[in-house]
Homo-oligomer: A and B are copies of this chain.
Amino acid sequence: MALLNGGANGMNTPTSSSDSVEQVTLCHICSDRATGNHYGAISCDGCKGFFRRSIRKEHNYKCRFNQNCNVDKTHRNACRACRLRRCMQAGMKAGAIQNERDVIGKRRKIESEGETSGQFLQSLLVSEKLCLQLRESVIKSTEQVVYDTGKIKYNTHPAHFATLNDVGTSIHQQLCILVEWAKSLIQFQELPLNDQAALLKACAAPLIVHGVAYRSLSTDGGVYLANEKILSTEEATLIGDINLVVSRIINELVIPMRELGYDSTDYVALKAIIFFNPYIIRPTNPTVASILKNARLLALKALKNQRPDDLDECRFGQLMLLLPAVHSIAQQLVEDVQLCHLFQLINVDDLMQELILNDGSKANKDTVPHAVIEKLKSPV
């Protein structure tokens, strides 16, 4: 059984010694017999279940040793922190963990008022899934046509190291997806056009940083750009101050996220919290502020209601502490991009200009963001 094709995952299998007789595929985490591709990694049933339980529940594992425990079939239960780390390294994605299904014999949870925040969360998950699909096509379309007319691109490896040009490409792609994501949100649709544009402008950089960090949870020693390139800390040294941004993303976001067992639900909720910021823009009318406040409150509740059994670790608070880092790193990213733009190191199109480079704190608030408006108006 288990005809493992390993198609989507282009990772090289380190089973060099298994060329003898039996063609059993081994678990990439513990080298037990694998039963298939689970959550993005070839793995056994044990590691599959372990990963699902770890993501679903709180599970703040802590390694009692040096973060490098041996993880094999006989020792995999000795250190859950290192086992989970290995799961991430092997390519398991928290985003692949679905929601709990309805079980006929089980009583449904009594939702007094949390139903609305739960519904909101569901809609966020749906929007995220749509954008994930969109990302595939955006990557392809922008790769050759829309953006970057200059350089020849090498895309032979599914995951290879990024160039400075890739950084620009990635930012551009993420901005495109970001606009579509926003447009898919009901609360966003209710806003006037200029408030929509202002909100996007104010939150674009933080949302990009947040997204990059989330995608990089399973990557070691680098960040995972939107265009499936890896920006390693070593490579990043070569291209200006970007390496500082990269290392900050890893130290201040990726590592804490891993410790907290950050999952897709956390991600979409925090994304909404970043986005629906009533104070970051000067709303045209009180209704706008009210919509934003309401949406943010729903997202807050949704995030808080994750892991209801969390009494000790104050997980919700720890998650909220990611926000200052997100904003601070975003600010630094903007400065770096501005610098790169100044020295003509990357291509900057109108969308990037309007959403990233136009500093909202400066006096040019009245400039109309034509490209953004255009994208907001277009159907898809």
How far in angstroms is the closest Cβ of chain B from A274?
8
Task: Write out the residue numbers on chain B whose beta carbons fall within 8 Å of the beta carbon of A328.
Answer: 327-328, 331
How many Å lie between the Cα of A304 and that of B320 in the bound state?
12
Segment with Cβ contacts to B, from A40-48, A139-147, A311-319: A311-319
Contact residues in B for A100 (Cβ distance below 8 Å):
78
Q: Is the CB of B64 within 8 A of A77?
A: no
A: contact size bracket: 35 or more
Say whether A314 contacts B327, CB under 8 Å. no
Please provide the chain A residues from 42 to 100 with a CB less than 8 Å away from any CB of chain B in the complex. Answer: 61, 64, 74-75, 77-81, 98-100
In the assembled complex, the Cα of A325 lies from the Cα of B320 at a distance in Å of 13
* Contact for A300 among B75, B304, B318, CB less than 8 A: B318
Number of copies: 2
A101 touches B78 (CB 8 A): yes
Interface check A374, CB cutoff 8 A: no
Q: Does A326 contact B (CB under 8 A)?
A: yes
Q: Which B residues touch A251, using CB under 8 A? A: 279, 282
- Tell me the smallest distance from the CB of A19 to a CB of chain B, in Å: 22
Tell yes or no: A291 within 8 A of B by CB.
Answer: no
CA distance A321 to B322 in the complex (A): 10
Q: Tell me, rounded to whole Å, the shortest Cβ–Cβ distance linking A187 to chain B.
A: 17
Choose from B81, B244, B303, B325 the contact partner of A317 (Cβ within 8 Å): B303
Interface residue? A221 (CB, 8 A)? no
State whether B324 touches A64 (Cβ < 8 A).
no
Check: A211 CB closer than 8 A to any chain B CB.
Answer: no
CB of A256 within 8 Å of the partner chain = yes
Contacts of A332 in B (CB 8 A): 361
Q: Is A24 part of the binding interface, using a Cβ–Cβ cutoff of 8 Å?
A: no
Residues of B within 8 A of A22 (CB): none
Q: Is A102 an interface residue (CB 8 A)?
A: yes
Whose C-beta in chain B lies nearest to the C-beta of A80? B102
Among A74, A280, A313, A321, the most chain B Cβ lie within 10 Å of the Cβ of A321
Question: In the complex, what residue of chain B is closest to A301 when comparing beta carbons?
Answer: B314
CB of B327 within 8 A of CB of A324, answer yes
Q: CB-CB < 8 A to A273: which residues of B?
A: 321
In the A-B complex, list the 7 residue pairs whose CB atoms are closest, starting with the nearest.
A320-B320, A300-B317, A77-B101, A324-B327, A252-B279, A300-B314, A323-B324
